[in-house]
Amino acid sequence: MKLHRTPHPPTCDREISSAEFWSSSFAEREETFRWLRENAPVSWHPPLEDPEVPASVHGEAGFWALTLAEDISFVSRNHEEFSSELGMPYLPPRAPGQPTMAPSILELDPPRHTDYRRALSSAFMPKTVRLLTEKIEQRAEQIVDRVVGAGSFDFVAEVSSKLPMLTVADLVGIPEDQINSFAEAGNNLVERHDPETLEKLPAGVTLQDWTNQQVGYLMGMGVELAEARRARPADDVMTRLVTTDVVGRTLNNEDIGIMMVLLSVAGNDTTKQTTSHTVVNLARHPEQRNWLLEDFDGRIMGAIEEFLRYATPVLHFARTATRDVTIRGTEITAGDKVGLFYCSGNRDSTVFSDPEKFDITRPPSKHVAFGGGGVHYCIGAGVAKAQLRALFRQILTKLPDLEVGEPEQLIGGGMNGIKRLPVTAGKATARW
Ligand code: HEM
């Protein structure tokens, strides 16, 4: 099948492909997405500009942008016509020959995906998640206790970034003394397109080298853990992963290494960004913070859905059409890349009333922050919600006078990211 078609369809005159577009704020980008939803919900665009893979090498023609929640769900739930394996499920173009390692679960279709998902599911079984939740609650308390009365500090470094990495570490059994370097490598991967990272690259190291170094480090860590559990099995997730026959064989070192790379990003930065955005949003809406505190246990789970919708930490993913399909009268040809813009789906006024308004009292409706459903729907959704519940219980009750400054936006990486958030926490213990 031809993956890079020519001639390509007429290009939409609203551009969403440049690095400049993705450097603007979420609200500025949303003006374009609103226009697309209303006027061209399925539109063709040139390939995303990517500092790692210049246009001269990737040879991609472009992609279809799907901007309505309904279409994002349709494609996400239809893996036979929209593959994650045929092309790559990411919007930035890939250079020929990439990736150099075996595909992760995100990059597979059934039946291979089903096998790997079953293997990974052992880490998300109810008993495991229950035990993990107890640990999450203890960790959340310790994290917030450390900053009570701390004065001015960066909320991202001291609070938002801590719990997700500790949770993934607890999940797979990363030793305490390696947790920080695990998180650092994961963050380096997510932040690699930010101009600050590009400026700080060591002399003679290209962005591709830098990326490979982080991936190599994380894979090595996974292999070490896997080998340790094969030698000394324990009652934990890693032991189950390396000893159970789930893909017609037990998972090998490479499988485990790739899982570590995926978890370091998928399980780490997403929850971190949701936390940072929500702290900003609740500070801007004290009446909602008070409403939540009036009945925290009764209201938090509904509120979390709005935290996620509003933050939409993962901005987009992609699929490749396996056959010709028509969506809203537009013919998508086999081999075409299709971008799923969760950031747009979560502002779709046909699903959410006043979609641009942060409103934790809104009735439950289906956001696409965890994907549009289907086989790749986020496997860590329950774990992410457990973290948000535990952390906001602590933040709201123990940091009553938190003053929240201006967030600094993370650029690139397909994330709605905040890289720094200055805050001040006094010693007061009264509730908000
Ligand atoms: C706020 C937090 C999170 C958000 C917004 C989020 C978002 C997503 C999205 C959009 C996808 C892709 C869905 C698709 O392609 O249809 C995904 C997949 C995935 N997520 Fe999450 N995620 C979060 C937390 C987590 C956590 C905590 C973990 C693990 C500890 C995790 C592990 C995964 C994995 C392994 C996949 C791949 C699943 C598959 O391909 O079958 N995520 N997530």
Q: 103-117 pLDDT, tens per residue? A: 889 999 999 999 889
Most confident segment among 125-139, 251-265, 337-351, 409-423: 337-351
Residue 74 clears pLDDT 50, i.e. is over it: yes
Q: Which residues line ligand 1 (CB under 6 A)?
A: 76, 105-106, 117, 120, 168, 262-263, 266-267, 270-271, 274, 308, 313-314, 317, 369-372, 374, 376-380, 383-384
**What radius of gyration, in Å, describes the C-alpha atoms of the chain?**
21
Most confident segment among 8-17, 38-47, 423-432: 38-47
Task: Give mean pLDDT, residues 386-403.
Answer: 96
Residue nearest (by alpha carbon) to ligand 1 atom 27: 267
**CA atoms of 282 and 248, how far apart (whole Å):** 48
Most confident segment among 224-238, 241-255, 366-380: 366-380
- pTM for this model (two decimals): 0.94
Whether the ω angle into residue 175 lies within 30 degrees of 0, i.e. cis, is: no
Q: Which two tokens stand for residue 181?
A: 């370097």
107 DSSP assignment:
G
- Cα–ligand 1 centroid distance for 187 (angstroms): 16
Residue 95 clears pLDDT 80, i.e. is over it: no
DSSP class per residue in 263-302? HHHHTTHHHHHHHHHHHHHHHH-HHHHHHHHHTHHHHHHH
Work out the pLDDT band at 315, boundaries 50, 70, 90. very high
Among 53-57, 196-200, 314-318, 351-355, the minimum mean pLDDT is found in 53-57
Q: Using one digit for the tens of pLDDT, what is the confidence trace for 273-312? A: 999 999 999 999 999 999 999 999 999 999 999 999 999 9
Residue nearest (by alpha carbon) to ligand 1 atom 1: 271
The preferred substitution site among 238, 256, 270 for testing ligand 1, maximizing ligand atoms within 8 Å of CB, is: 270
Residue 418 clears pLDDT 60, i.e. is over it: yes
Work out the pLDDT band at 71, boundaries 50, 70, 90. very high
- Beta-carbon count within 10 A of 218 CB: 25
The preferred substitution site among 114, 301, 319, 378 for testing ligand 1, maximizing ligand atoms within 8 Å of CB, is: 378
